[in-house]
Amino acid sequence: MERERLRLALLAVTQLIVALDYNIVYVALPDIGDALDFSPRSVQWVVSAYAVGLGGLLLFGGRAVDRLGPRRMFMTGLALSASRRWRVAWLLVPRHSSPPARFRGRVGLC
């Protein structure tokens, strides 16, 4: 019984993240349209492209889970996400500063 509740909670959180992602795209849509010189009618293509890309990646992820197993794919996803975040943080840090200054810059204290 506890395992089913955990799975349901995980699915609910996943759906929340997808909904938040779409809301972020919709909030950023005017700025995206201005930056790319899109007309108001063609801005909708940004949302459509995002939906198609997300759907394709969900299908690919589902197929990978079926072939490789849920635990292996979960750990792979965690590793990829962590490495991507680490690389982005590493690129945002100035190299000429001392380690404490780099830390302050990373957490927004400077």
Digit-coded pLDDT (tens) for 11-59: 899 889 888 888 888 888 888 888 888 888 888 888 888 889 988 988 9
Under DSSP, the state recorded for 41 is T
pTM to 2 decimals? 0.58
User: What is the maximum span of the chain, computed from C-alpha positions, in angstroms?
Assistant: 55
- The candidate with the shortest Cα–Cα distance to 81, out of 11, 17, 33, 36, is 17
Query: How far is CA 64 from each of CA 44, 55, 56, 60, 76, rounded to the nearest angstrom?
Result: 30, 14, 12, 6, 11
Contacts of 29 (CB under 8 A, 6+ apart): 43, 46, 47
Digit-coded pLDDT (tens) for 57-86: 889 989 999 999 999 998 998 888 888 777
